[in-house]
Structure 1
Amino acid sequence: MASKLTEDLIYEILSVVEEIPPGKVSTYGQIAKLIGRDKNARLVGKVLSQADYYGQYPCHRVVNHAGRLAPHFPEQKQRLLEEGIPFKDANHVDIKRCQWDL
């Protein structure tokens, strides 16, 4: 069954992103799971890449399962550093130390 991207789904994803506290990160998969769509991490990424059209959301706090930064989001690292997010290397946050724990 194909996922249909509706405005309701977009705002459902963005409302979860809005809850990520400063100094913490979440993963695309974690957000997908929270909205009941375990296998739709890529859909979450797609929505976040277009989030500016819907308002201001802390999308910089979302990384992949390994803590890798989004490849086409040059400001992400600086924003995370400003919040005190620890990094393992130049492109990966230390997910074990800063993952949002619900």
Structure 2
Amino acid sequence: MKQSDELATHILQVVHLIPFGKVATYGQIAQLSGLPKHARLVGYVLKNIDGAANVPWHRVINSQGKISTQRLNAQGENIQQEKLAAEQVVVVNGRINLKYYQWQP
């Protein structure tokens, strides 16, 4: 296994730890993965996972509490916002209140 595969596996293991109804930032996942200052790597790994993979990618947001606007369903709705709403995470104007919803491991 290449080191990059090991890093990706480790990042995804940490993402799996985020509880239902909570979110974490890219930087937080990087820190918990032992990769401080590598938030972009976390974003890259999540962007490139298999769509069928059972990874709660939707629970990872940026440090300002903003969700991604890149993944839309056939109706043009933001998939991440829909998945978070199903977990009772309130998204207002594309943002989440980190004080209330951020995971505190």
* TM-score above 0.5: yes
SS in 2 for 1:85: coil
Is 1:69 aligned to residue 67 of structure 2?
yes
Is 1:101 aligned to residue 104 of structure 2?
yes
More strand by share: 1
Q: Which runs of 5+ in 2 are unaligned?
A: 72-77
Q: Which runs of 5+ in 1 are unaligned?
A: none
Q: CA RMSD of the aligned region, Å? A: 1.7
Identity %: 41
Task: Detail structure 1 runs of 4+ shifted over 6 Å in the superposition.
Answer: none
User: TM-score, normalising length from structure 1?
Assistant: 0.88
Alignment correspondent of 2:16: 18
- Which stretch of the first structure deviates more once superposed, 65-74 or 28-37? 65-74
Deviation at 1:55, TM superposition (A): 2.3
SS in 2 for 1:79: helix
Is 1:84 aligned to residue 91 of structure 2?
no
- Equivalent-residue separation in structure 1 for 2:60 and 2:93 (angstroms): 16
Alignment correspondent of 1:39: 37
Number of equivalenced pairs: 98
